[in-house]
Amino acid sequence: MDTSDRPARLAVGVLGAGRVGSVLGAALMQAGHRVVAASGVSDASRLRAAETLGVELTRPDRVIERAELILLTVPDDVLPGLVAGLAATGVDLRGKLLVHASGAFGLGVLGPAVEAGAVPLALHPVMTFTGRGDDLNRLTGCSFGVTSPPPLRPVAEALVIEMGGEPVWIADADRALYHAAIAGAANHMVTLVAESQDLLAGIGVEHPGRMLGPLLGAALDNVLRLGINGLTGPVVRGDAGTVRKHVDALILAAPEAADAYIALARLTADRALAAGLLKPEAAELLLDALGGNIWT
């Protein structure tokens, strides 16, 4: 990277020393920046601040006073109130880099602080953090959804690269759809796999994860390489009778899972049809098997 693009070494503050804030703060420390203050409300945050960031927790206004770059790493629903509250307190925000890590929000949520002189950035790591010791390593090669005012794009991208990530530009108006795409893929995958494990355990499979692992690994590899063309299974084969058996079995064993199966099977059939992988007559039979009469 051209060293002229590197931001100066900055004093970093963390508002919300949770799983994400502590990891991003640690990554910035590794790049040569200094974490000078952090805030949080839980015992876990206090421990992370001490062990990972090397600071004690303090009040949010003091974090702002001491830092030049402030990470706003609080839950999405808390972020608007936090920003509005900071602006309302009258703490000096002039020239401060305010960086939030929310995927769903763009720059607008930082509006009250920008009016008070703050400089806004949105840097969202496309990664899941569990609070374990390997979280920091997960940033290496991780994509970040980056949104900033155009003049600050080099600074935003440089900060991501310094943290070991790969900056991907996301237009401000597209942040909600961007986040829906990645959260839907990751979160719903966890739910689906956990549901499958429970169903298998319920019929006596001793190690459901061991059974599912190779299949799911191959399926993930297929879709990442081939997209919808990597689809296999009864829907793309047009096996309406098999799909109907699945639905009937799920209605008896786990009705809430049957609803999800039906919705996803319909979406799968629609995509397979649009891609030319499924013939229209087969799609019609499948949709009949997934239709309203399944509950009778």
Give me the pLDDT at residue 7, please: 62
Give me the pLDDT at residue 6, please: 58
Residue type, 217: G
- How do 166-169 and 11-15 pair as beta strands? unpaired
* Residue 238 to residues 172, 223, 243, 244, 266, Cα–Cα distance (Å): 41, 19, 9, 11, 12
Let me know: does 164 contact 187? Beta carbons within 8 Å. no
Give me the pLDDT at residue 2, please: 45
Structure tokens at 70: 């402030």
Angle at 51 between CA 89 and CA 18, to 5 degrees: 45
Strand-pair partners of 38: 14, 57
Beta-carbon-side half-sphere exposure of residue 11 (alpha carbons within 13 Å): 13
For residue 51, what is the DSSP state? Answer: I
Q: Using CA atoms, how far apart are residues 191 and 194, in angstroms rounded to an integer?
A: 5
Domains of the chain and CATH, by start: 3-170 (3.40.50.720), 178-295 (1.10.1040)
Element containing residue 34 per DSSP (H, E): strand 34-39
Let me know: does 38 contact 13? Beta carbons within 8 Å. yes
Taking every pair of C-alpha atoms in the chain, what is the biggest distance, in angstroms?
A: 69
- Parts of the chain with a pLDDT under 70: 1-7, 292-296
DSSP assignments along 177-204, one per residue: HHHHHHHHHHHHHHHHHHHHHHHHHHTT
For residue 95, what is the DSSP state? Answer: T
